[in-house]
Amino acid sequence: MEYIQKGTKSFHKANWALFLAGFITFANLYSTQPLLPTFAEVFKVSPAVASLSLSVTTFALALSLVIVGSLSEAWGRKSLMTISIFAASIFTLALAFSPNFESIIVLRVLQGIVFAGLPAIAMAYLGEEMEPSSLGVAMGLYISGN
């Protein structure tokens, strides 16, 4: 097997992709936090109920990590990470058109499930694809994106 070596174009592309994917995942995960007061006001829900938009996503992500990690063995790590990021983007766009708080919660649960596709797999992917002497730099860049 040929590893991706530090300093090559493949190394830079893979690291930028994982850095940005990690950033996008966690930026989207916490994107509703500053909106909690607005949710409470607009949808006439209590602050505790408004906070479900963040907690259900985190809970779904946590539960899905175990499942997605196992699926990556069968479906392939790179393809599952790619599907995860694109699906999360589609759910993010759908959230902008949510007519009510209930649909926001459903979409946030679905986001949490697909968000798991990156953190569950990225480190294993890097461990398999990167040259061992380049692995520390690659993992550091991925973690800094998070």
The DSSP symbol for 35 reads: G
In terms of DSSP H, where are the helices of the chain? Answer: 9-29, 36-42, 47-50, 52-75, 77-95, 101-115, 122-129, 135-145
- Amino acid 51: pLDDT: 97
On average, the pLDDT of the chain sits at: 92
Distance CA 138, CA 135 (A): 5
Q: What angle do CA 95, 15, 87 make, to 5 degrees?
A: 25
The full set of domain ranges for the chain reads 12-145
pLDDT bracket for residue 28 (50, 70, 90)? very high
Per-residue pLDDT of 50-101, as tens digits, reads: 999 999 999 999 999 988 888 888 888 888 999 999 999 999 999 999 999 9
- Across the strands, what pairs with 4? 130
pLDDT surpassing 90 at residue 141: no
